[in-house]
Structure 1
Amino acid sequence: MRIAHDYVPLMDLKQLEVFLAVFSAGSITAAARLLDRSQPAVSRMIQDLENDVGFPLLHRYGPRITPTDRGVRFHADAERLVTGIGRLRDRAHAIASEAALPIEIVAIPAFAAGLVPLALSRMTDDTLPARIHLRSAPAEAGIQSILARAADLCIASLPVEQPGLTTHTLARAPCVAAVSLSDPLADKEVIAIGDLAERRLLTMANPFRLRGRIDRALIAQGVQAARVIDANSAFAALRLAALGKGVAIIDPVTAYGMSLPDAVIRPLDIAIPFLWGVFSAVSHPLSETSRAFLQKLVETTEALIPGLIEYDSRHVDLTDVMADSQSGEWRAVT
């Protein structure tokens, strides 16, 4: 008996690279310049790719193009594949030359822009690989990258409860306030949560992570901010504070890892915990290079973050850390 199978043609890597260039540049003409190809050649490769996948990737309006809904969804997978092929080449080259393997790090913005570069700067040349890939991503996307084996290490804020992860470090530290040098609160050694009454609050947008703890702390203290600017980056809140646009409540990693000369960082009179961890896939043991980076990251964090509490990840469950932080009991678990 003959079994019929749907035929799915193999996609050409060069076609995918052309599609990514068109998607990034916004036009066939601009992509052709980026790739040093003729415009007709780029158009033909896009058409061939559309024939292979079986659906249109782009809407064409004369010289203008916009991605289709399917094209947008296809782009994310195509980008991961092409990027992964490039990284595979890097790893193959390192293996062939007996060099240190590349490190694939994905981190939340607070770490990616601050403490991770500082930790890398403290590694010696003989421990640094020839290539390091550092990507900033929300915690949820970072964890998925680890589970998909698209990264070696992920530094993410809690909660993180997905199965299949190895936890290397768990830590927390109190959030801080940031104000401009000219703000009257800059003269205080400790900023009281009540000082935020009738002030503009600058903070994070995601209600399921740090923002939720900030809101609960304000409610518990009976404090109502007059106005709020929220952002998906703590650095944006820090920058607004430096410009005198309000009082920022931000995580300590951003505050001490990306300090601004026009911003003053002060502790709060109540503890609003910021929690994070470093994770890898259970099925993907860390290389010596990754372990060397992890050690420098821990040392850098310990040196810069006041009030740091580190948990022994060998004996403490993630859910216990979350429950400990929500109870308001500031105790180190070792």
Structure 2
Amino acid sequence: MEIRQLEAFAAVVTSGSVTAAGRLLGRSQPVITRLIQELEAEIGFALFVRSGPRVTPTERGFLLYEEVEHALVGLKQIRARADEIARDEHRPLHIAATPSLAAGLLPLALAGRQPDHARDREDSAGGERGVAGQSSQIHIDSLFPEKVVHAVLTGAAEIGVTSLPLEHPGVTVHWIGQAACVAAVRADDPLAALATIPLAACSGRRIVTMHNPYRLRRRLDEGLARAGVKPAALINTNSSFNALTSVRAGLGIAVLEPVTARGVPLADIVVRPIDADIPFYFGVITPQGRPASTAVLALIDALAAAARALLPDFTQRGPGQHGALLQALYGAAGMPDDTETDPS
């Protein structure tokens, strides 16, 4: 396989037509067609179903595209890194984080700033701040927890910011953060007037929450059951941000992790503590046995500082408590083997 063939394949998948792929790559339509045909002959199966000028990837084509996309991104990073080495620049800081932590916590940590509601003043100079000012380039990948671990293990990321617990001998957990889940309601909802929302008040209402039964959803279900809550309906999602926008649209009450709720505030949405202790656990991981760079060490501390500023009830625990956390949540057997992907 040649890089040109893979680039042509990816461009056709992305654009939906051979002609558009040619425009993307600056090549003629016949050249793109020939490259795709050569690739299909090389691998032994069809990549596209053709319907006039439009083409649709086959099932096998979709499966191959996932790998090709990763390979092309890797090649692009190699080229960029070669240019940086030629300019005597430092290696970019590669970070993998779950969507909730990438959106709600990571920007504050990189900037070395307090959240808006806790900040005394803005930087009048408007210049680079915090950990971000130490690196010429920062790469952030938003991934599911299992893929955050994979990125750290394979060296694709120097540091991972993920929900916990997780069980893998190849990573080092630097600290464990704990904060209680919260409720999000529309500002015009009567519950918004309460300082603390009782879970029992969710009975008979539509509840928006996470769908993975082996991560946060398990604890949410237990808390709702203890409160005797019988929702009128459920909206299950794998994104806390989706939950917040659903609430804003008037679809129900969200019970969710606090990082997105507090770190990505939305207009017309009120976030309140609930009268049940449903903990959300998260932390920072790096590859075991691999020394962390100065920028990574600074980011580890900055993430903890940002969490303390963002979450009123944030508790930071040492990495030695990770085993006890696994035991408490999942029993002696540890994490189930058939965990689904969930970004919370």
Using the size of structure 2 for normalisation, the TM-score is 0.85
Q: CA deviation at 1:75?
A: 1.3
Aligned to 1:321: 325
Tell me, yes or no, if the aligned pair for 1:154 and 1:279 is still in contact at 8 Å: yes
Tell me, yes or no, if the aligned pair for 2:304 and 2:316 is still in contact at 8 Å: no
Q: Select the residue among 13, 28, 32 that pairs with 2:22.
A: 32
Q: Does the C-alpha gap of structure 1 residues 294 and 14 become closer, same or farther in structure 2, counting only changes over 3 Å?
A: farther
Aligned to 2:61: 71
1:263 aligns with 2:253: no
Aligned to 2:243: 237
Unmatched tracts of structure 2, length 5 or more: 113-128, 332-344
Tell me, yes or no, if the aligned pair for 1:127 and 1:289 is still in contact at 8 Å: no
Q: Select the residue among 12, 29, 32 that pairs with 2:2.
A: 12
SS class of match (1:271):
coil
Instruction: Give the distance between the partners of 2:45 and 2:184, measured in 1 at CA.
Output: 50
Tell me, yes or no, if the aligned pair for 2:180 and 2:258 is still in contact at 8 Å: yes
1:195 aligns with 2:196: no
Q: Which moved more, 1:90-99 or 1:236-245?
A: 90-99
Q: Does the C-alpha gap of structure 1 residues 91 and 284 become closer, same or farther in structure 2, counting only changes over 3 Å?
A: farther
Q: CA deviation at 1:291?
A: 2.4
Tell me, yes or no, if the aligned pair for 1:182 and 1:244 is still in contact at 8 Å: no
Q: Select the residue among 160, 166, 169 that pairs with 1:160.
A: 166
Tell me, yes or no, if the aligned pair for 2:111 and 2:132 is still in contact at 8 Å: no
Tell me, yes or no, if the aligned pair for 2:93 and 2:135 is still in contact at 8 Å: yes
Instruction: Give the distance between the partners of 2:78 and 2:286, measured in 1 at CA.
Output: 18
Give matches, 1:131-210, under 5 Å: 131-210=137-216
Instruction: Give the distance between the partners of 2:227 and 2:96, measured in 1 at CA.
Output: 36
State the AA in 1 paired with 2:54.
Answer: R
Q: CA deviation at 1:325?
A: 6.1
Cα deviation code 1:97-149 (max 9, x no counterpart): 33232111121110122211222233448843222211211112222222222
Aligned to 1:299: 305
Aligned to 2:334: none
1:312 aligns with 2:318: yes
Greater RCO (CA < 8 Å, at least 6 residues apart): 2
Tell me, yes or no, if the aligned pair for 1:243 and 1:262 is still in contact at 8 Å: no
SS class of match (2:295):
helix
Cα deviation code 1:167-199 (max 9, x no counterpart): 122111100001011000001000011111111
Aligned to 2:232: 226
Find runs of 4+ consecutive structure 1 residues off by over 4 angstroms: 324-327
Instruction: Give the distance between the partners of 1:84 and 1:97, measured in 2 at CA.
Output: 20
Percent identical across equivalent pairs?
41
Q: CA deviation at 1:259?
A: 0.8
Unmatched tracts of structure 1, length 5 or more: 1-10, 328-334
Count of aligned positions: 315
